[in-house]
Structure 1
């Protein structure tokens, strides 16, 4: 088992409490901002996911998969894990706005989990990477539509889309490299 990096109560979310591999690729300040809603760990779902993921790493047994952790967390929150499988973006239009708000929390948990794995362990499961790719696609699709809608366009859509682009690029870079240790 490799060395794990966990946040310290006194230091909080910081490069000093993160795996060096994560720090190498997650250079943007927002990764370490616990109040930035558009960061992986700054929104409520992301912060809760990271906290629970740290506990999972402390207590897990050999062979346990992170996707199992994520599915259990989503079910504990009362959300449907079926949304994780949604890859047809056209289906998003059929989901009512209240249900989509819940599903957005699922995507935030997926994004926090994949970055959390890199932050804690310096690597991530391939199955989690596949879930994250879908979560990013869904979030980008929703934000793009919210940006151009005629009634009440989302004023933060461009900022969120920019952030998604940075996170996706950083994730792609981490996924194609191997940590030194």
Structure 2
């Protein structure tokens, strides 16, 4: 809502920036999801490097990463069921944090950048002062901005909707994973769209930076050890079976996206795990997403078999 409030009726400040991306990180005092304890520790270590900002001039994108200290991630989660509502106190605290970061943002600009930073700073300060104190006043603004965003989004083609920075991936990645859904970060049936597949992709990116010449199977072995899954007997439980399946398929696509290839052992393993998954859901006739799941699994299997 803080971002929507700033965006609502916003004037132009110059051509140097098309997008201001603000990421607010929250300390999470609760227990980590099983197998992700080390990632939680790394995240909390990363909080110490905040705030930080980056100006990508060619892309006209300014990014700001700050820590939200007015609440914890655990407290947010506790209040997210039923669906979380707009909280004016949180919105004001978030806007305060953004305004306080203005001096840091200002340092990123050069004299020849076409951007009126003083007007931008004054605008943000004014919006903070004018922030309503009730949900009833904020809700119409939220609805209007959301509606405009949805209308603009629907005009984009399927690839544009993904909003992916292709520089992070291998030049052959889109050829190897040629369907937009295979790049989705929200589709449960996409290779890297479910939680496990997404974690696998991010962890493989990090591992690959230091292990470019090593087999992806070495990464898989380490991943399974970290996640307490017996790679020799992965179907011993429902958790183990499903996590193993998602990790294998996620890794096959992660390797193709990052390295531009998927080695034979991994291809065969992904092939067999997809076959196993299709067999397990074949009799689940009452599941409303069965056909969609089977179709996307078949597409993933065919795509993996064609990978270099």
TM-score range normalised by the length of the shorter chain: 0.7 to 0.9
User: Aligned pair 1:80/2:230, yes or no?
Assistant: yes
User: Aligned pair 1:54/2:197, yes or no?
Assistant: no
Query: Secondary structure of 1:146's partner?
Result: coil
In structure 2, C-alpha distance between the alignment counterparts of 1:13 and 1:56, rounded to whole Å? 24
**Any conservation in 2 of the 1:15–1:32 contact (CA below 8 Å)?**
no
**Any conservation in 2 of the 1:41–1:50 contact (CA below 8 Å)?**
yes
The aligned runs of 1:145-164 (5 Å cut-off) are 145-147=283-285, 153-164=286-297
RMSD between aligned alpha carbons? 2.1
1:27 shift after superposition: 2.3
CA spacing shift, 1:173–1:109, aligned 2, 3 Å: same
Q: Which residue of 2 aligns with 1:134?
A: 272
Q: Which residue of 2 aligns with 1:43?
A: 194
In structure 2, C-alpha distance between the alignment counterparts of 1:53 and 1:20, rounded to whole Å? 17
- Which structure has more relative contact order (CA 8 Å, sep 6+)? It is 1
Query: Secondary structure of 1:115's partner?
Result: helix
In structure 1, C-alpha distance between the alignment counterparts of 2:248 and 2:233, rounded to whole Å? 11
Structure 1 gaps of 5+ residues are 1-9, 85-91, 148-152, 176-181
1:79 shift after superposition: 1.6
In structure 2, C-alpha distance between the alignment counterparts of 1:59 and 1:78, rounded to whole Å? 23
Q: Which residue of 2 aligns with 1:173?
A: 306
Which structure carries more strand by proportion? 2
In structure 1, C-alpha distance between the alignment counterparts of 2:212 and 2:173, rounded to whole Å? 23
1:18 shift after superposition: 2.6
Deviates more, 1:46-55 or 1:12-21: 12-21
CA spacing shift, 1:15–1:139, aligned 2, 3 Å: farther
From 113, 120, 132, give the equivalent of 2:251: 113
In structure 1, C-alpha distance between the alignment counterparts of 2:227 and 2:163, rounded to whole Å? 23
Structure 2 gaps of 5+ residues are 1-62, 64-161
In structure 2, C-alpha distance between the alignment counterparts of 1:49 and 1:25, rounded to whole Å? 18
TM-score, reference length from structure 2: 0.44
Which structure carries more helix by proportion? 1
In structure 1, C-alpha distance between the alignment counterparts of 2:267 and 2:307, rounded to whole Å? 10
Deviates more, 1:23-32 or 1:125-134: 23-32
Q: How many residues align?
A: 147
1:15 shift after superposition: 6.6
